[in-house]
Amino acid sequence: VLVVWVGNFDATPNPAFVGIKTAAPLFFRIADALPLALPEERVPADRPPSGLTRVEVCAASGELPNRWCPQTRKTWYIPGVSPIRVSDLHRPVMVDRLTGKAACPPFDPATSELQVFEFWPSDLQRLFADAGLPRRTPPDAQRDCQVQAAIDTREAPRITSPLTQVTYSLRLSQPQESITLAAHAAADARLLYWFADHTLVGQGT
């Protein structure tokens, strides 16, 4: 174990010595010199604990790749313990070349083509956008055209606000107060409708 600490001779810290500027450079110099100073010393190879196995997963989702996943990688897996399922992040969509929207069946090979899109949940899409890494969103369906089966609508929205089993109180003296309505939805969801006791209270993206 190699540890580098820089301070006073009496073992007290000195605020003039910043670790990244004093201790870190010295640490890396020593680490780089060790193989030359101890040429016969062999570092034992890391061995994974028993019970681990290597599986191939989709690089983007970390789940078992489906046929549309473009890139895979190896990762460690604990059989019977690690959660694992087939990824549905990458899905095919027939796209109209003229409009760029999801094509309507029957598909004409002359005007439509098959493209694969990443269907990220809405909360992750916002995280990517906030980090300056926006993702290519699946295309909308054309008007007067039912969304094709390739666009998966099985993911039900998950309400994140208001919280369940929480009582909210609004003060009459504060008419500007409101309860935020927020939900995580599938990547192909474009509009969410909000109901309270079968009464429509709002809609939004």
Distance of CA 82 to the CA centre of its chain: 18
What is the C-alpha separation between 102 and 146, in angstroms, rounded?
A: 10
**152-160: average pLDDT:** 69
- pLDDT band for 188, please (50, 70, 90 cuts): low
Contact yes or no for 155/121 (Cβ under 8 A): yes
Q: How far apart are CA 108 and CA 67, in angstroms?
A: 23
Average pLDDT of the residues in 171-198: 81
- Across the range 179-196, mean pLDDT stands at 79
Distance between CA 13 and CA 22 in Å, rounded? Answer: 13
The pLDDT-based confidence of 144 (bands split at 50, 70, 90) is low
Q: Which residues pair with 43 in a beta bridge?
A: none
- 22 exposure class (CB count in 10 Å sphere: 0-12, 13-18, 19+): middle
Give me the DSSP letters along 154-168: ----EEEESPTT---
What are all long-range contacts of 83-88, with beta carbons under 8 Å and residues at least 24 apart? 84/55, 87/57, 87/58, 87/60, 87/61, 87/62, 87/63, 88/119, 88/152
pLDDT, position 146: 60
Please give the pLDDT value at position 65: 94
Q: What is the DSSP letter of 141?
A: B
Structure tokens that stand for 65 in this block: 């790749």
What token pair was written down for 164? 């369940």
pTM score, two decimals?
Answer: 0.56
* Average pLDDT along the chain: 83
- CA-nearest of 4, 8, 21, 152 to 91 is 152
Give the percent of the chain with pLDDT over 90: 20
Residues ≥6 apart with Cβ < 8 Å to 38: none
List the domain boundaries for the chain.
Answer: 1-46, 48-88, 90-131
Which percentage of the chain shows pLDDT scores above 70?
Answer: 91
In this prediction, residue 125 has a pLDDT band, given cuts at 50, 70 and 90, of: confident
- Can you read off the two tokens belonging to residue 94? 């027939």
Bond prior to 162 in cis (omega within 30° of 0): yes
Burial label, 48 (beta-carbon count in 10 A; 0-12, 13-18, 19+): exposed
Q: In the prediction, which pLDDT does 201 show?
A: 83
**Percent helix, percent strand, percent coil in the chain, to nearest 5:** 10, 25, 65
